[in-house]
Structure 1
């Protein structure tokens, strides 16, 4: 099978590329560094020539800060689906976020943009699978909530239920074959983000202290990011994942 991975250089994309190649697939990497831009469509049709399945694990970054995020994300997915149709791609696997439809995030532009992408996929009628996940273990040092300083690490007090990105890559790969309409994933345990960050740093021998600060939205501290009802709980546990992070 020939698989194209959009966002191939990102956290989930890189893991998915490596896994697909390990399983014997020919992989086409879709990223700006590979000369393909989902936001403009540059190089997209040519990149999809001969591709059977596209896995979209992209996390788009706008060059123009004045551009509307929701519209840009929706248009990117519209272009991707049009290119899939033109190239004869059989199936699209889209990586999303479990909690984007929670009303707590109605004013959260990034979640609104992800909602818009899901809606474009739904409205298009194109054969697709949506894989929605909670935050990843790798979120332990994500700049969205974690500030790495020279002498301390500041972490927002989010309540999360993280899943390992390697496990997400496995599911994305499986979805390219099983083609179920939707799956929702989460890790097997909940904890607060500052604890995850502290344990991650300790596993890597980093002695910088972690200072907890308030979350930018109360909902983030109250559990809005926890697994929705019916989500598949998949390992590894935080302890098992951390064991693989030690230097």
Structure 2
């Protein structure tokens, strides 16, 4: 994966940042000249767009790449027959997807400084952003292990991942959601990470509880991917 990305890095970057940067520019141009409340919403929105870029780049490409090669090209069978441990195989794919997502999200975050001043830059922001990328790269591998084809991946993405990017505080506060959605959103892997990233970006403050929740979701999804990969190998 590293060799492929090294040779085609410009395709991945252009394709990954295109939609997020367009969203960022459109919202910034339309909200920047408004009153204080509108400018405040722009500050609220930018971390959400960065999270969406991280999720899309870490999850979408990897789950499609892995599923296609497992179900159509049968490349996974060759991997499983080779003397490579489950942990090495999983870690390589998760890191590959997460690093790509992190680079794209980082470019979007740095680009947002062109439209809004006052965003913080500290190591905890990068750490929280990388945890988000690792979490959804792990989810991508887990989904790829059980998906029967690209249509299964599309169904899961449309039913679970895509709504998650709207119900986890990316565009609007979770408190504005109806009662059952407001409670349920805190049981999703993206909510705590999004709120902590926003707190770090706007205020420079790390919420330890939100940070631990994001780490717990990373552990759960990485462990799930490992178990599913091992079961696939035993088959």
TM (norm. structure 2) is 0.31
Higher strand share: 1
Higher relative contact order (CA 8 A, sep 6+): 2
TM (norm. structure 1) is 0.30
Higher helix share: 2
